[in-house]
Every structure is written in structure tokens, then in C-alpha cells.
């Protein structure tokens, strides 16, 4: 949804950057792809916001379920 919004408001190139950040691992040996995209509001009007693709590198313990889903 973020990539579609970027494509309609900014440009296809900006949307493709978001799609690439979402689809690729940050480091080759990361256990999974990114799981969060954080969008930072641009300082000046008309500039493209910065997008940070995060998570994916931290290894979660597999034998302990998070309390939030129990």
C-alpha cells in the first residue's frame, strides 16, 4: 500500500525504491526479509518522505512464544 501511495503521489521510481527495500534482505545472511517500513515525514513540502525498512536481522527465540499472541 505504501508503494502504491508513493507511485500516485510522487513517482514510479520512488515507489520502486520502496518495493525493492521491502522485497530484499538488508544483509545476505539475515534470517528473513524486512518486516516493517517506517515513513518519515519530509521537512519541506513537496519532498519525498524518507522510508526506512527495518527488522529482519534480529533472530527471535523459536521456543518462546511472544506474550502478545498468547
pLDDT digits (tens, 9 = 90+) for 25-61: 777 777 777 778 888 888 888 788 888 877 766 565 5
Check pLDDT > 90 for residue 7.
yes
Angle at 25 between CA 22 and CA 29, to 5 degrees: 165
Domain ranges of the chain: 2-60
Output the CA–CA distances (angstroms, integers) from residue 33 to 4, 37, 44, 45, 64, in the order listed: 20, 11, 31, 31, 21
Confidence of residue 62 (pLDDT cuts 50, 70, 90): low
pLDDT of residue 38: 83
Amino acid at each position: 500500500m505504501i508503494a502504491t501511495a508513493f507511485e500516485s503521489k510522487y513517482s514510479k521510481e520512488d515507489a520502486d525504491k520502496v518495493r525493492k527495500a521491502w522485497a530484499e534482505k538488508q544483509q545476505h545472511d539475515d534470517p528473513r526479509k524486512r518486516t516493517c517500513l517506517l515513513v518519515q515525514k519530509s521537512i519541506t513540502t513537496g519532498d519525498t518522505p524518507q522510508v526506512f525498512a527495518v527488522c529482519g536481522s534480529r533472530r527471535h527465540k523459536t521456543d518462546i512464544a511472544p506474550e502478545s499472541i498468547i
